[in-house]
Structure 1
Amino acid sequence: MDEMVFFNPGDAIANSKDYGEAVRGAQIYKAKDPYESSLVVAQDVSDNKSFAVYFAKDEKKDIQDSDTGIVKYHLKKKI
Structure 2
Amino acid sequence: MDEMVFFNPGDAIANSRDFGEAVRGAQIYKAKDPYESSLIIAEDATNKKSFAVYFATDEKSSVKDTDKSVVPYHIKKKI
Aligned residues: 79
Cα distance in 2 for partners of 1:62, 1:45 equals: 16
Task: Look up the SS of the partner of 2:6 in the other structure.
Answer: strand
> Take 1:50 and 1:29, find their aligned partners in 2: how far apart are those partners?
19
In the alignment, what sits opposite 1:3? Answer: 3
Match of 1:35?
Answer: 35
Gap regions ≥5 residues in structure 2: none
> What stretches of structure 1 move > 4 A for 4+ residues in a row?
none
Q: Report what 2:62 is aligned to.
A: 62
Instruction: Give the AA of the match of 1:48.
Output: K
**Helix, strand or coil at the partner of 1:27:** helix
Q: CA RMSD in A?
A: 0.4
Deviation at 1:69, TM superposition (A): 1.0
Partner AA of 2:74 in structure 1: H
State the Cα distance separating 1:62 from its structure 2 match: 2.2
What SS class does the counterpart of residue 15 from structure 2 fall into? Answer: strand
Structure 2 residue 45 is matched with structure 1 residue 45: yes
State the TM-score, normalizing by the size of structure 1. 0.98
